[in-house]
Structure 1
Amino acid sequence: MSKLDGNERWKSKMLMTEHVQHYEQKQGEEVRKMITVEERTMVRDLILLPYMETMVSKSLKEIEFSGSILKRAFGIAGQAIQERIMQDTYRLQKELKQHNIRVLADEQEEFLVYYKIFCRGYQERFGLTRDVMRTEISLRLTKYTAELGAVLKEYLKS
């Protein structure tokens, strides 16, 4: 931001074309450095995926020690979902690295979890409430389960 921004006196003054172009170019560069909505969604997903992987791992251990007749089928399904979560984590890490974005855990409060996002020279603090995390994790696990169910149905049809 220059010293002249916000100074009403300079609005009526004539500017040379190259100065205007330089100013607009600088403003465009600043906007490109900021994190986009799509990138923010990728960051959120990257934050949630390790929690999901932990939940699926715990469920797999519970299934392993259960006396259920279908424990083998549940275990295979759980492992397939766990593998998909790991693939998505790897893909998101790779994409964010290409976009020059890093995510680091910052701090945890009672109901909030904060992360630091380093995006193309800027630093931002990103927070998620535990309720939002639970909801998003539930939605994502439902999506993974539905995808697995669709694959199984397709297999049974053939």
Structure 2
Amino acid sequence: VLGILAGFMAPLWLSAGSGNHVGLFSYYAVLNAGIFAIAWFRPWRALNLLGFAFTFGIGTFWGVLQYVPDKFSSTEPFLLLFFVFYLLIPLLYARRQPASRRDLIDGSLVFGTPLVAFSLQAGMLHEQPMTLALCALGLAAIYAVLA
């Protein structure tokens, strides 16, 4: 847990103020890939929740302070990647449960991921309501298929 906390905080502690969001989100993508790899082999709920909280918390903080529509094309792929990571992690968690406990899910990630990711998407697309509506439709379709 201390390692993951330090991993997510390192770019903030060591930042020279360059404002390189692609570098920051690429680094977080590598950390989240590691969390996903661990989740593939072993359910570790605390690690998953910490990764989720730091990824989307720092992403939200950056978005409020630094996001401008010109950065959409370099930010959107990371939002989608993080959404996919935290969409699949609770599915892996549920699949790793014994057959008698398969009905257990990680509700924090199952319900938190679409709420947070779509809220960030709405912030990025607030001037494009039709595109945002299509994103909502796509998100609903994904969750309908998963249900």
TM-score, scaled relative to structure 1: 0.30
RCO comparison, higher one (Cα < 8 Å, 6+): 2
Higher share of residues assigned helix: 2
Higher share of residues assigned strand: 1
